[in-house]
Chain A
Amino acid sequence: MPRGYVALVLHAHLPYVRDREDDFSLAEKWYHEAVTETYIPLIYICQRLNRDQVPYKITISLSPPLTAMMADTLVQEHYRHYLERLRELAAREVWRTRNDPRFHVVARMYQDLFEKTYGTYLVYGGNLINAFRDLQDSGNVELITCAATHGYLPLIGLQREVVRAQIEVAVNNHRRLFGRPPAGLWLPECAYNPGDDAILRDYGLKYFFLDAHGLLYARPRPRYSIFAPVYTPAGVAAFGRDLESSKQVWSAQEGYPGDCDYREFYRDIGYDLDFDYIKPYIHPSGLRLDTGMKYYRITGKSNYKEPYVPEWASFKAHTHAGNFLFNREHQINYLADYMDRPPIIVCPYDAELFGHWWFEGPQWLESLFRQVAGLAHRPFSFITPSEYLERFPVNQPATPCMSSWGNNGYNDVWLEGSNDWIYRHLHHAAAEMIRLANQHPTAEGLLLRALNQAARELLVAQSSDWAFIMKTGTMVDYAVGRTKKHLLNFWVLTRSIEKSDLDPEKVQDLEEDNNIFPDINYRVFASR
């Protein structure tokens, strides 16, 4: 038996930003960038590790809005256009920089990356669900789900039916896309409300994750603090985030991603190059945007930046992976001396950190798996929560504390001056949805479609992202607009249902505009 275990968990999520009207939507660009910089590189890594038979385990949470966008043909088409423009830009950049070896090598790196990305995209017919399903079937990757639209459950869950609907839709979506039920669930923002665990249990979910204090402040006090899960009163395992390893990767001051040799995120040729040259690759309105091609390294704290050197960055990623390994080994050796079972170190991260923010993150991850596999003394093993629970089925019973991984650790970020107004509207819409679901146990035809669409509009309005954007203060109008738009659509539908004057064209228009969860059944909102 190994001295201890490390569970790496990546949570991949973006709100549902499919835009039928605009094939150059700024919000949809979040998705395009994440596919290019994070999701496809993640797929590469796992494929290469599988090919080389490197032993590794990773848990990836794919949020339902993200998978819905991956599976959507319009989003796939938009992404292909985006990538084709990017490939064209990279080719022009390779030519433009031909006499400046410092930048030329970086331009070549991007060209190579985008060409490989394009190849991968075509191999899977533009549908990354197929790629993730293949990885899942390889046995090293555990795919789990998240609440249906990443709803912040402690705040939207005034009615139990809402939590139930968020979970049921997510589990059904996962089963439909990946061919098997998810073993566990990533609670949106790690936001836990005691009692929600009973609903997770009802849908066969065996585990979820908490921020460290959610577990540390559990009652009774957990024997192993955060180094073993507890069973909630409903019998679901709650794993706590390790503080030391998250600090090493995340911290703005001492975290790896801030290293001087890593790529500078904020210097992009979309802003730096001559307007007429870059115009075809930024927003059609002439708005300068990130293109994804960034030529500088972090260098230092000042605005002075030096050119990026890919080999130096790769070397750093490798060194930092070694440092992470070294620290986990020490942490585990210390804990294992005192514990009567091997400790588990749970390291959850936002997937988009790897590649998008921290460009070298995917290299770091691959290097970490390869270095651990290469050590003869096996300091620890990577593990998925499911495997851990199979090996250690007996765990302490305790009630975790209401908590989240947001600033201050509770509901503060999603309930404050900028966003508190939404809950009144979300709660009333939910009450109406529940009432209609109870009133119409067996709707058919147009009524069925209208009820299903009302459920879609409500679910998308419940995304935690809108409240989060309102709080951060950038693109606030977009978040307010999305919240209002979906709630107004909801009320248009439900009032027509009440008055029995549904307009088939209007229903169809809304269905085409917001087509998340094609197989949704509004009955998920019914009281039980």
Chain B
Amino acid sequence: MVTAVSVLILAFLAGMFLWYWRRRVNRPAAKPLPVAVPPSRDLPAKYGKDEIVLMVKDPYWLYAYWELSEAKKEELYRRFGPGAWENSRPMLRVYDLTDHPYDFLRAPFFEIAITDMADNWYIHTGKPCSTFCIDLGRLIPNYGFVTLARSNIVTTPADKPSSVIDPLWPPVEACWQAVERYGKGRGFSSSSMIKSQS
């Protein structure tokens, strides 16, 4: 009986050893983390501002991030009474200023209902070569839209060759035909050293 147990224990230990050995040899190529930032040190969630910042992603999409301070909430209570924040809905109002530069009263706009949890949003405009500005605000019942912060103004890029021709520099058709069969944005970007580590 004792012998059998000893043999079992020995076999188990040998198995452990072999397993460990194999594991050591075939250690997977996991990546260690050369830079560790302790969780106690993290970037601030807010910077105490009332602002919305607008950025261009591509000809059809914008990106906005924002934050509002407690003071702005208080301001809303003062203007519209207690519960004004809770009873209103957060909205983004996207102005298309392309044909009405800086004219917010005449510029067409559309609105996006957002949530109080959100602090950033991707916005589909579908409009290349257009100029946009966004108001972050709230829809107050029986009153309407109230602007809390207004963004910077951005312009989306073109997605095709311009129809504007300089009469002094009329396009040479052969030069344009030579590039027609190649699409744009091949995705051959930089940082190939980093890509290679994958």
Contact = CB atoms under 8 A, between A and B. Distances in A.
A216 B193 contact: no
A412 B193 contact: no
A189 B190 contact: yes
Contacts of A464: 190-191
Given A410-B185, A472-B198, A288 B172 contact: no
With most chain A CB atoms within 10 A of its CB, the pick from B67, B188, B195 is B188
B141 interface: no
Interface string B108-135: 0000000000001000000000000000
A25 B27 CA distance: 19
B83 interface: no
Given A26-B34, A425-B43, A334 B27 contact: no
Contact of A484 (B27, B37, B160): B37
Interface in A232-254: 243-244, 246-247, 250-251
A307 interface: no
Nearest to A228: B175
B144 interface: no
A184 B161 CA distance: 26
A227 B175 contact: yes
A11 interface: yes
Number of contact residues on A: which range applies?
35 or more
Interface residues of B, number: 68
Prevailing SS type, chain B contact patch: loop
B139 interface: no
A331 B19 CA distance: 61
A415 B120 CA distance: 12
Contacts of A408: 58, 185, 187
A30 B193 contact: yes
Interface string B180-196: 00101111111111111
A30 B192 contact: no
Given A212-B182, A275-B24, A334-B174, A478 B33 contact: yes
B192 A352 contact: yes
Contacts of B168: 396
Given A221-B165, A335-B178, A423-B65, A275 B25 contact: yes
Contact of A155 (B55, B59, B179): B55
A484 B43 contact: yes
Contact of A353 (B58, B152, B192): B192
A223 B55 contact: no
A265 B43 CA distance: 38
Interface stretch (A318-326, A399-407, A500-508, A519-527): A399-407
A218 B189 CA distance: 21
Interface string B57-100: 11100010101000000000000000000000000000000000
B164 to A, nearest CB: 4
Contact of A250 (B53, B178, B188): B188
Nearest to B42: A484
B4 interface: no
A119 interface: no
A229 interface: no
A211 B184 contact: yes
B194 A465 contact: yes
Given A250-B188, A465-B194, A482 B35 contact: yes
A474 B34 contact: no
A222 B178 contact: no
A217 B53 contact: no
Given A221-B164, A226-B179, A411-B56, A405 B189 contact: yes
A337 interface: yes
B55 to A, nearest CB: 6
A516 B61 CA distance: 36
Interface in A394-432: 396-398, 401-413, 415-416, 420-421, 423-425, 427-428
Contact of A246 (B159, B172, B186): B186
Interface in B23-45: 24-25, 27, 29-37, 41-44
Contacts of A485: 35, 37
B158 interface: yes
Contacts of A123: none
B176 interface: yes
Contacts of A274: 25
A64 interface: no
Interface string B136-160: 0000000000000000100111111
Contacts of A331: 178
A25 B33 CA distance: 10
A273 to B, nearest CB: 11
B162 interface: yes
A220 interface: yes
B116 to A, nearest CB: 18
A438 interface: no
A423 B194 contact: no
A217 B158 contact: yes
Top-6 shortest CB links A-B: A409-B185, A481-B35, A243-B182, A407-B187, A213-B184, A338-B174
17 contacts: A25-B34, A26-B34, A217-B160, A221-B162, A222-B169, A223-B171, A226-B179, A251-B186, A350-B190, A357-B196, A406-B187, A410-B157, A415-B63, A481-B35, A484-B42, A487-B43, A488-B43
Given A406-B189, A468-B190, 4 more contacts: A217-B162, A225-B171, A350-B190, A424-B67
